[in-house]
Amino acid sequence: MPTTSLSSKGQVIIPKPIRSLHNWRPGQKLQVIDMEDGILLKAAQPFTETTLEQVAACLPYLGKAKTLAEMEEAIRQGVEEANRDRS
């Protein structure tokens, strides 16, 4: 098990095999979580967790709700357009 030391400035070097395993690069933001028997380091999430209702509520749409058939037709048209663009 890799070990490390605490510097006089309170810094800890995370051993390279651990950084590589988690794909942590210089500048990576980490959450420091206090646990009963030590600390846990986790990659910080770039955005706070939200619910679908919170996200959908910020979308400005004042028109009539689309039917499932209208949504499926729009998806079909989008796929056709994407396939044409590839040709």
Q: What percent of the chain has pLDDT over 90?
A: 60
pLDDT, average across residues 22-29: 91
pLDDT, average across residues 13-26: 92
Question: Of all residues in the chain, what percent are helix, strand and coil, respectively (each to 5)?
Answer: 35, 15, 45
Q: What is the pTM of this model?
A: 0.48
End-to-end CA distance of the chain: 54
Residue 20: alpha-carbon gap to chain centroid: 19
> Does position 26 have pLDDT exceeding 80, yes or no?
yes
Q: Using 50, 70 and 90 to split pLDDT, how confident is the model at 60?
A: confident
Q: Using 50, 70 and 90 to split pLDDT, how confident is the model at 34?
A: very high
Task: Report the pLDDT value the prediction gives residue 14, as an integer from 0 to 100.
Answer: 94
